[in-house]
Structures are given as C-alpha cells and as structure tokens.
Amino acid sequence: MKMKAPMIGICRHRLTTDGQGVTTLVAFHGCPLRCKYCLNAQCLRSDGVWRQMEVQEILDEVMVDDLYFKATNGGVTFGGGEPLLRANEIADFCKRRPSTWRIYIETSLNVERQALEAVAPYIDHYYIDVKDMNPDIYQHYTSINNTRVIENLRWLADHVDLGKVTIRLPHIPNYNTQADIGRSRQQLEAMGFCDFDCFEYVCYGGKSA
C-alpha cells in the first residue's frame, strides 16, 4: 500500500519568501516541538490535518506551476510543522520532480540524523529555525532539548556547502535577549555558518506573529 502523508496545506505563487523565484510551499502536519508561540498550531492538533496525500498526488498538484518554476528559477519549499518527519516522502518527490525545480526546506533540525541524510542530496537551500543555541532557553521555549539540533548542525557543517544554509535566530519575548542571540550567532559562526536571519517575534496576547 502507498503511504499517505498528513498535510496542512499547499500554498502556491509565493515570491522570494524562502527561496528564489516563484515557489510553492508544501506543508506537512506534525512537529516534535511545542513552541510557546507556535504560529502553526494546526500542525500540532490531531484534527488539524487538511488532507492525506501520496507523493504522486502532491507532485501532480504542484506540477500546475511548472512553467512559473522554470521561468523564475523557482521550485518547492517543504515546511510544516516539521517536514523532516516526512523525509522519505520528500526524497521520493525529489527523485520524481523535473530536475529544473529548486528544492528548499524550512526545518528545526530536531530530528533523527537519517532523516537529514535522506534529503540532503536534493536540497538547494536550508532555512534552519535554530531558535536559540542555549539548551536551557531552547528547552524552556520548545519543551524539548536541542541535542539533536546541535548534532545535525555539526553534520551539515561537515557535509554541506554552508552557502546553502540560512540560520534563523529570533528574538523571542520573555525567553531570550539580544545578548543571547549574539551568543548563539558566535557559536554558529565558529561552526562555519555565515548567513543569519535575526528577527523579532511580535506577540499579541501570548501569540506571536
């Protein structure tokens, strides 16, 4: 029987949000983290699944924008939730898609190493939501530890051209400070990372935007 992946949505015609040219976001349900200001709470709720889709169904749906991808050097961004929980489906998709499509991924990296290794041959650019390198801050904010994140960052530093990696370091009100972000950045620079997206979570009544 073919596996179906739980999805929270497919979003077309995005421009330079996270990737070059026109991209389609393919967003999977499920995430190992429990961020206090989660923007995609739908992907954590058992009733939050939009559709269950086979890889070929996802490919057929995304294929309608083939001409846009080719004309703009765009492609597909995998997100969620945590897309690396669906690493096998992503690798399968990448093997079947036109080779001209670029592939981007937005991930926390808080997954088993084998998931990262399964998709690495296909990824043109990684957007990594590190949050904060300090284990206490990370645990406090996400409810799990960042041991796997740090191990997977080390693996990327050893195996991937780091020009293909953007590290996201948010200021998270009530959880970290600009000084904490500076310390995270220093630690990551020492590992060889060079592209950082530092930004502010804006909170409205306990939620972020």
Size of the site for ligand SF4 (CB under 6 A): 12
Q: Please, what is the minimum distance in Å from the beta carbon of residue 162 to ligand SF4? A: 22
Rounded CA-CA distance 16/6 in Å is 26
- Where are the extended beta strands (E) located within the chain? 5-15, 22-28, 51-53, 75-79, 102-107, 125-129, 165-171, 196-200, 203-204, 207-208
Q: Please, what is the minimum distance in Å from the beta carbon of residue 168 to ligand SF4? A: 11
53 or 128: whose CB is closer to ligand SF4?
128
Query: Applying CB under 6 A, does 64 fall inside the site for ligand SF4?
Result: no
135: nearest Cα among 148, 147, 118, 119: 147
What DSSP letter does each residue of 77-130 carry, written as one string? EEESS-GGGGHHHHHHHHHHS-TTSEEEEEE---S-HHHHHHHGGG-SEEEEE-
Query: Applying CB under 6 A, does 107 fall inside the site for ligand SF4?
Result: no
Tokens encoding 143: 């409810």
Query: Applying CB under 6 A, does 62 fall inside the site for ligand SF4?
Result: no
| Among residues 14, 18, 40, 157, the one that binds ligand SF4 under rule CB under 6 A | 40
Name the one range near ligand SF4 by CB under 6 A: 13-21, 28-36, 58-66, 86-94: 28-36
Query: Applying CB under 6 A, does 27 fall inside the site for ligand SF4?
Result: no
User: End-to-end distance of the chain based on CA atoms, in angstroms?
Assistant: 40
Name the one range near ligand SF4 by CB under 6 A: 10-18, 30-38, 115-123, 144-152: 30-38
Query: Applying CB under 6 A, does 53 fall inside the site for ligand SF4?
Result: no
106: nearest Cα among 92, 133, 86: 86
Q: Please, what is the minimum distance in Å from the beta carbon of residue 99 to ligand SF4? A: 30
161, 139 contact by CB (below 8 A): no
| Among residues 34, 95, 154, 207, the one that binds ligand SF4 under rule CB under 6 A | 34
The residues that touch ligand SF4, with contacts defined as CB under 6 A, are 31, 33-35, 38-40, 43, 80-82, 108
